[in-house]
Amino acid sequence: MSGTKTLKNVYLAWSAALLAGLLHVGSGWAGDTHDHDRARQALESGEILPLRTILERVERDYPGQVMEVELDREDGRWRYEIKLLRRDGALVKLVLDARDGRQLRIKGPKDKGGNPGAPR
Helix/strand number for the chain, H first, E second = 3, 4
Rounded-to-integer distance, Cα 65 and Cα 38, Å: 28
Rounded-to-integer distance, Cα 113 and Cα 111, Å: 5
State in words which class domain 3-107 has.
alpha beta
- DSSP states of 87-101 as a string? TTS-EEEEEEETTT-
Which residues, other chains included, contact 47 with Cβ-Cβ below 8 Å and sequence gap of 6+? 41, 78, 98, 99
User: Domain limits of the chain?
Assistant: 3-107
- pLDDT tens string 9-63: 666 565 555 555 544 444 444 456 677 788 889 889 999 999 999 999 999 988 8
Query: Whole-model pTM?
Result: 0.66
Q: Is the pLDDT of residue 102 over 90?
A: yes
